[in-house]
Amino acid sequence: MTAMYIPLHPLKFKSKIVDQIEIYKNHFILSFTREPEERFMAGQLLALTTAPDTIPPRLYSIASAETAEESTCYQIYYNTTKEGQLSNRLAALKAGDELHRSSPFGQFIFPKSKSYFIAVGTGIAPFLSKIKSTDHFQEVKLLHGAKNLELLLGHEIFSSKLKKNYIPCLSQDSAYPGLFQGRVSDYLQNCDASKLPLDYHYYLCGSAEMVVQTRDILLSKGVPFNLISAEIYF
């Protein structure tokens, strides 16, 4: 018996694919049309699918800017997974094709001005959206992990806006000695607790493994539980 899909977030819109770029093996930025009046807050999600009758929608964080002037399309950052039903179909989409999607929704938003963002891989999407959308980033810190520089999506914009508050970590690329070599968890494990401010809110985004590991290190370094929020991609 197949499980019945109950749509919590109705697929009200059809969007046209504007562009698809493979930034690195199996990692894609997909751009598709946004309705002119649609608003969202950085950190929110879309439910989407290519074939609503046969493939239940999956969730993707919006990676593009909130303001329609900055971004007339939605963008998502995703990777294909082995035997993944939807992601491999998304990867086959070309300009002019259509997908079915919900309105933006979700509570993983960033109300605190003093924010410490921590992301690995595609988990950077909500923070990329936030930093593209704001000029008030003096009190924003970002710890950003990826395997290599190509996968460090947004590193130019982060470096230019956040300056020394941007900490890129490369786990499998030693060609850039100026950058931290290792995982985000290695950085946090080795980091002096005094560098983890207690007047900031910590926002974590990525796989369950990364979020749990990072949360535990933060707690062990004295960051209180109530200062930590997370979005888990599962």
Ligand X SMILES: Cc1cc2nc3c(=O)[nH]c(=O)nc-3n(C[C@H](O)[C@H](O)[C@H](O)COP(=O)(O)OP(=O)(O)OC[C@H]3O[C@@H](n4cnc5c(N)ncnc54)[C@H](O)[C@@H]3O)c2cc1C
By C-alpha distance, which of 168, 144, 14, 6 is closest to 77? 144
Q: Which stretch binds ligand X (CB under 6 A): 10-18, 64-72, 76-84, 96-104?
A: 76-84
Rg (CA), the chain: 18
Output the smallest distance, CB 171 to ligand X, in A.
18
Shortest approach of ligand X to residue 113 CB, angstroms?
A: 24
String of contacts with ligand X for each residue 15-54, x by CB under 6 A: ------------------------------x---------
- Which residue(s) pair with 127 in the sheet? none
Stretch touching ligand X by CB under 6 A, among 79-87, 153-161, 183-191, 209-217: 79-87
User: Is 167 among the residues that bind ligand X (CB under 6 A)?
Assistant: no
**x/- map, 125-144, ligand X, by CB under 6 A:** x-------------------
Q: Which is nearer to ligand X, 108 or 180 (CB)?
A: 108
**Shortest distance in whole angstroms from residue 216 CB to ligand X:** 21
Out of 41, 65, 76, 143, the only residue in the binding site for ligand X (CB under 6 A) is 76
- Among 87, 103, 171, 181, which residue interacts with ligand X (rule: CB under 6 A)? 87
Edge-to-edge strand list for the sheet holding 45-49? 58-61, 45-49, 98-101, 13-24, 27-33, 73-79
3-state secondary structure of 108: coil
Residues sharing a CB contact under 8 Å with residue 204, sequence separation 6 or more, in sequence order: 118, 119, 123, 210, 211, 214, 215, 228, 229, 230, 231
The two tokens of residue 202 are 């910590």
Instruction: Find, among 148, 115, 120, 142, the residue nearest to 213 by Cα.
Output: 120
Q: Smallest distance, Å, CB 193 to ligand X?
A: 30
CA distance 54 to 69: 35
Instruction: Pick the binder of ligand X from 67, 81, 113, 190 (CB under 6 A).
Output: 81
59 makes contact with ligand X (CB under 6 A): yes
Residue 207 binds to ligand X (criterion: CB under 6 A): no
Closer CB to ligand X, 77 or 187, in the complex? 77
Q: Where are the alpha helices (DSSP H) in 112-224?
A: 125-133, 155-162, 184-190, 208-220
Q: Which residues bind ligand X (CB under 6 A)?
A: 45, 58-61, 76-79, 81-87, 122, 125, 231, 233-234
